[in-house]
Amino acid sequence: MGARTSNRKRGDECLSFNHACPSQNSSDFHVSKRPRFSSMHQTPDRPVVSSNSTVARLSRYPQVTPRLGREVHAPCRILNYGFSSTVLNQKSGPRTSGVCPKEKPIDEMGNILSYKYDKAKDSALRAIRHWTKEKEVIDVDTDEEKGSGGGGVSGDSSIEEVEIVNGVVANLQELDAKTMNGGLLPSSSSAVSDLTNGSLRVDNAEKMLDSLSLNRGQDLSSVSAYKKLLETVERRTSKLRNLSFEIELNEKRRSIFQLLRPAKKPVENVPREPFVHLTEEEKAEVEHAFKSNRRQVLVTHENSNIEITGEFLQCLRPGAWLNDEVINVYLELLKERENREPQKFLKCHFFNTFFYKKLISGKNGYDYKSVRRWTSQRKLGYSLIECDKIFVPIHKEIHWCLAVINKKDEKFQYLDSLGGMDTQVLKVLARYFVDEVKDKSGKDINVSSWKQEFVEDLPEQENGFDCGMFMIKYADFYSRGVGLCFNQGHMSYFRQRTAKEILRLRAN
């Protein structure tokens, strides 16, 4: 039971403890499966031991000595992905790490290009590693002057090493003028001194091999990349110059247009009535209404049958958007104010916020029949052709604007607190006014000579929630026949004043 057969793979024996793998051509190679025990093994150097001990099993084969006095190469085994591992010979004496001269890859599933690259790089590093460390640094500038008697190269240096260094020097001198100015490579003298320095390390050698090119006719890819980068920068610089010129030109045009733009007409006589301060009692009444129950009906307008609850009145608080009920009630109050004092105000008509949506609800974006009965003589007591101005609220999803059919000045006006323009609104209203006059009075009116005006010199909002207040105040001031002499700073006052006028159902 202590016998050991040799039917295992030879690779396992080569990797066994303290043994080297004998070659098949060697005279010491054993072919028999059963080991032989003879008296020749019982020498003073090999004492007799028990067959069951580990020493007995390991000492059955004699140690193999190489036939020639050369470096011992251990067997190589190639692992997956192109990386090789070397089995070190663990004989008594100096440890050597050799590379198998006849390597045959066991598994070529890895990257063969990476394997060949690593192999070539390893051989190059090994050649550098075997250079003589006692060599002196060669000075490139004085190399030709010294000659053989200068002592620049020691007598025992090989011819191959001198040729390699001279090749590096010659190549660096050729590429120095092309690349030194751009800072792409280090100086030639420092490169040669690094290659021939006695304290050269493997890391420095790898960097030198990656950065230096020993081929005299090869172009550096970094030089072409640098040239392309310079060309790209030059193209972008020209584009930036053109853009700066266009910006400067447009700024000059803008300044010229501002000079040609008519200045806003100064308000000569600012009316007092639109800016009457609220009393303390009126302010307290408004604050109490803001704090009331949301479902509580605060006031009801009988002519329009609109109820204003505490929830609807909340839209007049600072920062809130105006709703349809508050806008429609206030426009009704403006019409009632005109009826009380017709001598102080222009004759106007105020459509509610649903009129324009109904007018453009047709298939072709226009439907006069849907709003034909809104302006009957029996319902209004007058016809639109008798009015000086007709106000139409325009709602654009989240923004309020005002359109005016100004019969007095023969204009179709559009007022947007954000400075917007909408020609379609004015075209629709022009068509409507022609159809309305034709339907109610039977007259054909020509509005082709009327001006379409997008009012520019008007107060503009400076936030995102006061567009509704600007819209109803445009109608308020235009119906008075005065200029728009207010601004963003008056909006807080106008909100309280509008709330007071709605609560008392009377516009002043």
SS (H, E, C) 45-75: CECCCCCCCHHHHHCCCCCCCCCCCCCCCCC
What per-residue confidence (pLDDT) applies to 275? 94
Q: What is the pLDDT of residues 296-316, one digit of tens each?
A: 999 999 999 999 999 999 999
Q: Write the CB contacts of 199 (distance below 8 Å, at least 6 apart in sequence).
A: none
Mean pLDDT value of segment 347-371: 94
Residues carrying CATH 3.40.395.10, the chain? 273-504
Three-class secondary structure of residue 453 per DSSP:
strand
Closest CA to 85 of 118, 45, 128, 49: 118
Q: Write the CB contacts of 326 (distance below 8 Å, at least 6 apart in sequence).
A: 308, 312, 313, 315, 316, 498, 502
Catalytic residue among 399, 422, 435, 439: 399
Cβ pair 412, 454 in contact under 8 A: no
What per-residue confidence (pLDDT) applies to 129? 59
**Terminal-to-terminal C-alpha distance of the chain:** 125
118 among known catalytic residues: no
User: Alpha-carbon torsion 148, 152, 154, 158, what sign?
Assistant: negative
Separation in Å, CA 167 to CA 151, 178, 205, 219, 313:
19, 18, 16, 16, 94
Catalytic residue among 76, 348, 387, 467: 467
What per-residue confidence (pLDDT) applies to 457? 87
What per-residue confidence (pLDDT) applies to 259? 81
What is the per-residue DSSP string for 207-245? HHHHH----TTPPPHHHHHHHHHHHHHHHHHHHHHHHHH
Catalytic residue among 301, 349, 401, 416: 416
- State percent of the chain over pLDDT 70: 57
Q: Write the CB contacts of 427 (distance below 8 Å, at least 6 apart in sequence).
A: none
Least trusted range by pLDDT, from 37-41, 126-130, 436-440: 37-41
What per-residue confidence (pLDDT) applies to 406? 96
What's the chain's Rg over C-alpha atoms? 52
Cβ pair 390, 348 in contact under 8 A: yes
Judged against a pLDDT cut of 60, whether residue 387 lies above it is answered with: yes
Backbone angles phi, psi at 64, to 5 degrees: -90, 130
DSSP code, position 19? -
What per-residue confidence (pLDDT) applies to 6? 45
Considering only residues 320 and 71, tell me which one the structure prediction assigns the higher pLDDT. Answer: 320
Judged against a pLDDT cut of 80, whether residue 137 lies above it is answered with: no
Cβ pair 481, 334 in contact under 8 A: no
Q: What is the pLDDT of residues 263-293, one digit of tens each?
A: 665 555 678 889 999 999 999 999 999 999 9
* CATH class of domain segment(s) 273-504: alpha beta
Mean pLDDT value of segment 64-91: 48
Mean pLDDT value of segment 109-123: 74
Considering only residues 118 and 417, tell me which one the structure prediction assigns the higher pLDDT. Answer: 417
Q: What is the mean pLDDT of the chain?
A: 73
Q: What is the pLDDT of residues 480-496, one digit of tens each?
A: 999 999 999 999 999 99
CA 338 – CA 343 distance, rounded (Å):
8
387 among known catalytic residues: no
Tokens 């140690």 identify what position?
A: 63
DSSP code, position 43? B
219 among known catalytic residues: no
- Burial of residue 493, with CB atoms counted within 10 A of its CB: 0-12 exposed, 13-18 middle, 19 or more buried: middle
CA 248 – CA 84 distance, rounded (Å):
67
The 3-state secondary structure of 241-287 reads HHHHHHHHHHHHHHHHHHHHCCCCCCCCCCCCHHHCCCCHHHHHHHH
What per-residue confidence (pLDDT) applies to 9? 44
Query: pTM for the full model?
Result: 0.52
**Identity of the residue numbered 175:** L
